[in-house]
A = this chain, B = another copy of it.
Amino acid sequence: MANPVLIEVTRGDRVESIHRGAFAIVDADGATVASLGDIETPVYPRSSLKPVQALPLVESGAADAFGIGGEELALACASHSGEPMHTERVTAWLKRIACTEHDLACGAHPSRYEPVADAMIKRSEKPTRIFNNCSGKHTGFLSVARHWDVATAGYEKHDHPVQRAVAEALGELSGLGPDMPWGIDGCTAPNFALPLKAFALALAKMAAPEKLPSVRAAAVKRLTQAMMDHPELVSGTGRTCAILMRAAKGKAAVKTGAEGFFAGIVPGRGYGVAIKIDDGAGRASDTAMAVLMAKLGLLDADGEAGRLVRAPVVNTVGTIVGERRPAEALARVNL
């Protein structure tokens, strides 16, 4: 059966495009607080997995051994825009673990922050791998490898100890065990596929650290706090994660993923939120997360975050010609 329409995009007085998808809000005991659509078929969280992929960095002791603080932990969970605040910190962190950009397995791509990208074009400067939006995550992986004194080369392989530690952590939090199906992410790291409901449970467990063993509890608290303390380091200037976390004022840590994924950790409520848009559209997962956060009372409907809930569609001369908004099924959800 088709997933329900979560988001619609209008032009004039008609709906022009629709986005189907599913979401699950789950508590730390595994109870589904709310959901729409198929939450049982495994899907890839993509970069929404980063807060879990960063767990070994803290749990292994690597973060403490290398003096890695909240800013770096936020970067380990980030899909960053390659602004100086990101690249300078990743560069310094790599140096601290005796690595360079050449140790990063992720490929180079231009900064996603236009002023930086344009300035680099003007200087005929090619982006390094440090500009990859995942360079913080990869530097976290390298830190664990260094701390364990295992090979750094191949740290992105599915059977490397660092990736096995990620699989163990995700398998424990989701209840699925470490042998989940997987594919290769845009940055070369393994990405694990799991049901929305199971991933939302993993996020809920990160939202309720008091129920976790002490080492894990300490790790998820540090990571979640780091994300909420440094919203722009997790994303970038003007990006959706930054807007939503600023608006939530410490009540939620949220993280986008490619192909229409969005994850949320809501510590005050002990909830995990996982959204997947069927067609992979980020514009739809952005609005869906804003809508669910508004319904959860996590953000003010005014300001930038509110404009994600009902987003104007603007043409090349600035005329509002339509809007992106929750469709009926999502609008009707009671939380």
Which residues on A are within 8 Å of B, measured CB to CB?
2, 9, 11-14, 16-20, 42-44, 105-109, 118, 121-122, 124, 132, 181-188, 191, 193, 259-260, 278-281, 284, 315-319, 321-322
CA of A44 to CA of B109 in the docked complex: distance in angstroms? Answer: 34
CB-CB nearest 8 A-B residue pairs = A12-B183, A107-B316, A2-B2, A17-B280, A11-B183, A279-B279, A107-B317, A184-B321
Copies of this chain held together in the complex: 2
Nearest B residue to A132 via CB reads B316
CB contact under 8 A between A184 and B315, given known A121-B118, A280-B9: yes
Contact partner of A105 among B16, B260, B317, CB < 8 A? Answer: B317
Interface hub of A18, A122, A259, A316 (most chain B Cβ within 10 A): A316
CB contact under 8 A between A319 and B281, given known A14-B42, A16-B259: no
Cβ contact within 8 Å between A193 and B316: no
Q: List 27 A-B contacts (CB under 8 A).
A: A2-B2, A9-B259, A11-B44, A13-B181, A13-B183, A14-B181, A16-B44, A16-B183, A16-B259, A16-B280, A17-B280, A19-B279, A20-B278, A105-B317, A107-B316, A107-B318, A109-B316, A121-B122, A122-B124, A183-B322, A185-B315, A185-B321, A186-B315, A188-B316, A188-B319, A279-B279, A279-B281
Nearest B residue to A3 via CB reads B2
Which B residues lie within 8 Å of A132 (CB)?
316
Which B residues lie within 8 Å of A12 (CB)?
181-184, 193
- Chain B min CB distance to A248 (Å): 27
Nearest B residue to A4 via CB reads B2
Cβ contact within 8 Å between B183 and A17: no
CA of A122 to CA of B123 in the docked complex: distance in angstroms? Answer: 8
CA of A12 to CA of B191 in the docked complex: distance in angstroms? Answer: 10
- Chain B min CB distance to A241 (Å): 20
Which B residues lie within 8 Å of A2 (CB)?
2, 20
Cβ contact within 8 Å between B184 and A11: yes
Cβ contact within 8 Å between A17 and B316: no
Cβ contact within 8 Å between A193 and B14: yes
Which B residues lie within 8 Å of A280 (CB)?
9, 16-17, 281
